[in-house]
């Protein structure tokens, strides 16, 4: 079967292979070709067991799917890359064949982790929204009363009212910062050149070496420009506060990355820095509010970054070791304004 017969399959955000009744490959989308390390031209007509093992189990699962069952197992691995996979087999409608979905085991734990973090972020967002209604209005009334009292006071009373005003403003600032991880109203998406945005954020960085590994073929992104800038600035400031002397920004297409509810290409934006290492005890919870290894700061910077990325339908992860620290952001590339 020709590749052009399956346009929707090629747009799916997961690796998919089609085989005929004999187990021979008739089609594989780009994600599947990437996992198998070869092109459809070389895969077509070959048996699925030439690329995945164990052969007996592959044949058995294909046979069950041909009988009308939908079956799955996680006992497979690629013959070339030796990567473990969960395979999901199902009968093709209106044709004598089988459709197979490949899910890398390495991605399963990552997806589960992102799902848990997304759920937590949504919980925090609801708390933030409730705080906006329950706290900000009475706080504004309190400040108004304190301001009126200050204007009519002298001596010690004026000093006390000034102190009240300062504390109210401090509380308001903390609340406003926390609300940044809350739900945002829908705003207009604009077309943004990610490389121009990165360069603008890094302007005036004489004390740190900035390396740029950009993919010039990347198209512009449809994003909330101010929010995405805020996320990038938070990552940048974190790296500077960790006393990094070299920061590398890299952009590229991530052909093997699938994002929920997105069927197109995915951009990978990474920031690698050589500053102080993040303690291992904090790495699993670093994107949670108020988690920080700094003596000063709100501990909300990375929680805000995660929230912004999620607003754009993407995800962010941390790769940290004893040397460099890398934050990896994946964002959907949309061909037109959503």
> If you write DSSP's letter for every residue of 20-74 in order, what string do you get?
ETTSBEEEE-HHHHHHHTS-HHHHTTSBGGGTEE-HHHHHHHHHHHHTT--EEEE
Whether residue 232 is found in the same domain as residue 132:
no
Whether residue 156 is found in the same domain as residue 213:
no
Mark which of 120, 144, 179 sits at the end of a domain. 179
239 within a domain of the structure (yes/no): yes
Whether residue 85 is found in the same domain as residue 114:
no
Cα-Cα-Cα-Cα dihedral sign, residues 202, 204, 207, 210: positive
Identify which of 207, 201, 204 has the alpha carbon closest to the alpha carbon of residue 269.
201
What is the spatial distance between Cα 270 and Cα 213, in angstroms, rounded to a whole number?
10
Whether residue 100 is found in the same domain as residue 145:
no
337 within a domain of the structure (yes/no): no
pLDDT for 48 equals 93
What are φ and ψ of residue 159, in 5° steps? -65, -40
Mark which of 179, 212, 230 sits at the end of a domain. 179
pLDDT for 296 equals 52
Tokens 């994107």, residue located:
287
185 within a domain of the structure (yes/no): no
The two three-digit tokens of residue 163, written as one number: 């102190």
CATH code of 82's domain: 3.30.450.20
Whether residue 84 is found in the same domain as residue 113:
no
pLDDT for 280 equals 80
pLDDT for 245 equals 92
214 within a domain of the structure (yes/no): yes
Interacting residues of 236 by C-beta distance below 8 A, sequence separation 6+: 201, 202, 247, 271
Whether residue 171 is found in the same domain as residue 123:
yes
Q: Which residues of the chain have pLDDT under 70?
A: 1-8, 11, 94, 105-137, 173-187, 256, 289-299, 322, 338
- Count each helix (H run) and each strand (E run) in the chain, helices first: 10, 13
Residue 100 forms beta bridges with which residues?
17, 89
Identify which of 143, 216, 196, 147 has the alpha carbon closest to the alpha carbon of residue 173.
143
- What letter would DSSP give residue 207? T
Interacting residues of 326 by C-beta distance below 8 A, sequence separation 6+: 270, 271, 272, 273, 318, 319, 320
Whether residue 196 is found in the same domain as residue 320:
yes
Mark which of 154, 179, 204 sits at the end of a domain. 179
Whether residue 142 is found in the same domain as residue 221:
no
Q: Exposed, middle or buried, 198 (CB in 10 Å: 0-12/13-18/19+)?
A: buried
Residue 272 forms beta bridges with which residues?
248, 326
Whether residue 221 is found in the same domain as residue 318:
yes
225 within a domain of the structure (yes/no): yes
What is the spatial distance between Cα 4 and Cα 9, in angstroms, rounded to a whole number?
10
Whether residue 306 is found in the same domain as residue 260:
yes
- What letter would DSSP give residue 282? G
Residue 52 forms beta bridges with which residues?
78
CATH code of 274's domain: 3.30.565.10
Q: Is the pTM of this model over 0.75?
A: no
pLDDT for 203 equals 84
184 within a domain of the structure (yes/no): no
Number of domains in the chain: 3
- What letter would DSSP give residue 280? G
pLDDT for 2 equals 41
Domain housing 138: 109-179
């Amino acid at each position: 079967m020709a590749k052009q017969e399956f346009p929707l399959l090629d747009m799916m955000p997961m690796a998919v292979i089609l085989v005929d009744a004999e187990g021979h490959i008739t089609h594989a989308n780009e994600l599947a070709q990437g996992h198998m390390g070869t092109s459809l031209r070389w895969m077509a007509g070959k048996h699925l067991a030439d690329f995945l093992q164990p052969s007996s189990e592959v044949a058995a699962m294909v046979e069950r799917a041909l009988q009308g069952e939908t079956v799955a197992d996680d006992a497979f691995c690629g013959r070339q890359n030796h990567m473990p996979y969960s395979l999901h087999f199902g009968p093709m409608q209106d044709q004598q064949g089988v459709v197979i979905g490949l899910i890398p085991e390495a991605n399963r734990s990552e997806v589960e982790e992102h799902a848990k973090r997304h759920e937590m972020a949504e919980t925090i967002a609801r708390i933030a929204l409730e705080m906006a209604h329950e706290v900000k209005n009475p706080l504004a009334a309190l400040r108004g009363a304190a301001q009126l009292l200050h204007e009519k006071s002298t001596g010690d009373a004026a000093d006390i009212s000034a102190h009240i005003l300062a504390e109210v403003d401090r509380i308001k600032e903390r609340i406003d910062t926390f609300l940044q991880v809350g739900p945002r109203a829908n705003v207009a998406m604009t077309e943004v050149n990610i490389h121009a945005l990165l360069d603008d954020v890094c302007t005036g960085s004489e004390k740190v070496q900035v390396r740029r590994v950009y993919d010039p073929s990347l198209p512009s992104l449809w994003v909330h420009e101010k929010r995405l800038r805020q996320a990038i600035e938070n990552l940048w400031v974190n790296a500077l506060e960790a006393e990094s002397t070299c920061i590398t920004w890299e952009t590229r297409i991530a052909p093997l990355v699938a994002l929920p509810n997105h069927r197109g290409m995915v951009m990978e934006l990474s920031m690698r820095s050589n500053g102080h290492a993040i303690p291992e005890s904090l790495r699993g919870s670093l994107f949670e509010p108020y988690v920080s290894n700094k003596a000063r700061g709100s501990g909300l910077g990375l929680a805000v970054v995660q929230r912004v990325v999620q607003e754009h339908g993407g995800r962010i992860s941390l790769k940290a070791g004893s040397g460099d620290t890398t934050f990896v952001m994946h964002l959907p590339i949309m061909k037109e304004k959503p």
